Amino acid sequence: MSRNLLLLFSLLCLTAGPALAHTDAPDGTLLSSKPCPPNPNRSYEDVVRMMRTNLDSEVEAARAENLVMPPISDAQLTAALSDRARVEEGLAYRGFECRVISYASGGLRIAGLLWKPIETEGKRLPLLIALRGGNNKFGPMQPWMYQGWYAILKAGYVVLATQYRGGPGSDGADGFGSRGDLDDVRNLVPLAQALGYVDTSQTFVFGGSRGGMQAYMLAREGFPMRAMAIRAGAGSVRDANRPKLMPMQARMMTDYAADPEAALDRRSAILWADEIKVPTILFHGTADWRVPVKDALDVARGLNKAGTPFALHIYEGDTHSMTLNAPDMIVRTLAFFEQYRTADGDGAKSPQAEAADADPR
């Protein structure tokens, strides 16, 4: 083999596998930040059309797996939205901004998103870490999800999200709940601390689907969060209704080869939910074909057994994305979090939490 061919072969070997270290920066270092692309929805009607498009895609995805998703009418969609004025207020997004970021985690450059007030001087705001579902490039966190988390920002939070390693814009390979993926979440905390306007002693987590699975795992391992909200969280990776899913997920797990059953158990909170001590609010729709509603019920039983504060909301006929009840879900999440939010990180309750105690409605 000639020297040139040997060099070419070596380069191909180096680039064929998952990307390795791309930065020497300490974990949690903010590497880049730029404005998010504009919200493609400019009107109430745009939002309705987007919801319809997403629902139609879900129906087709279910059909591709020989599953059925009940139809949802246009009338149900418009009834599910907040009133027009509130939708348009969220679309205006006055006083807030969305930013596409990258940060260091385990020597990799990881993509993420940051939603924040434009004016931050002198502020110390609680942090919500939003955990996406999906895997690799499928199901990434979208900049304008929940109208850019508008209601959460308006309630006084900063929101951070990671696309995980292997996700869009990130180095590395997705491990689907492996150590590196959890570290990508953990390393958002030093990033937030360095921003200067975030009080990381008041960290909350919102996890959807696979993000719910990882929120459970982090809670079990003692990640410092005050409370968490779980939307359609995957409580088990052994889903008999979707037999092709688990082998695909297992191929991503870096710990699967060493002990397959232990790797699956580690990602299945229904087996150890009684070890979770973090206050939790759970949401699930009965028409969810991606994650069975039984997962939420089983996790709730474990939380109840442990004596962990929790709330469970099952929405009849709703989808994996909580299409019909997203505004209610956000309102209930904020009310639940306020019970555990403090004014300045010293144990004193915030005015909102004091009001919630006085009037628990």
For residue 63, what pLDDT is reported?
93
CA 83 to chain centre: 26
For residue 83, what pLDDT is reported?
87
Residues 115, 340: Cα–Cα separation, whole Å:
21
Residues 9, 1: Cα–Cα separation, whole Å:
10
CA 318 to chain centre: 19
CA 245 to chain centre: 20
Ranges of the chain with pLDDT below 70? 1-21, 240, 343-361
pTM: 0.89
pLDDT tens per residue across span 338-358: 999 986 543 444 443 444 344
Q: List, as one string, the DSSP characters of 151-189.
A: HHHHTT-EEEEE--TTSTT--S---SSSHHHHHHHHTHH
Q: Of 62, 149, 137, which Cα lies nearest the Cα of 97?
A: 149
For residue 222, what pLDDT is reported?
96
**C-beta neighbour count of 119 within 10 angstroms:** 10
pLDDT tens per residue across span 206-223: 999 999 999 999 999 999
Task: Give the residue carrying structure tokens 């939603």.
Answer: 115
For residue 346, what pLDDT is reported?
39
Q: Which residues contact 311 (CB under 8 A, 6 or more apart)?
A: 280, 281, 282, 332, 336
Mean per-residue pLDDT of the chain: 89
